[in-house]
Amino acid sequence: EAGVAQSPRYKIIEKRQSVAFWCNPISGHATLYWYQQILGQGPKLLIQFQNNGVVDDSQLPKDRFSAERLKGVDSTLKIQPAKLEDSAVYLCASSLDRWSGGYEQYFGPGTRLTVT
């Protein structure tokens, strides 16, 4: 079974530029998550999708971050404009829906973003 796919794996941009990350979850997983992991810290949940609807985006800095999952499968996370403090690894995870006991989240390899 293929795992969660993310691209790009690495990205370096200058502050005030924009960037987008892509995630393809495990086939059949209805729930998709984006996390931000700053060096030396645990991941922080940014947004949770159930199919193509947003379940929780309470920790997403909406003035600069946006995310979508238009067809309920793959997802894009965008930052515009980027700040130095956005330097982090952005992790995508997916899980089955709750009716299937989808508690366990499977994480992708992450995208390491450096903002200079």
- Kindly determine how many residues on this chain lie close enough to bind another protein according to the rule CB under 8 A: 24
Answer for the pair 116, 12: CB distance below 8 angstroms, yes or no: yes
Pairing label, strands 10-13, 111-115: parallel
Q: In the complex with another protein, which residue's Cβ is closer, 59 or 80?
A: 59
Question: Which one, 75 or 95, has the nearer CB to another protein?
Answer: 95
Shortest approach of another protein to residue 48 CB, angstroms?
Answer: 6
Q: Which is nearer to another protein, 89 or 115 (CB)?
A: 89
Nearer residue to another protein within complex by CB, 81 or 102: 102
Q: Which of 56, 85, 100, 116 binds another protein (CB under 8 A)?
A: 56
Q: Least separation, in Å, of the C-beta of 21 and another protein?
A: 14
Contact positions with another protein (CB under 8 A) in 1-30: none
Question: Rounded to the nearest whole angstrom, what is the least distance from the CB of residue 82 to another protein in the complex?
Answer: 22
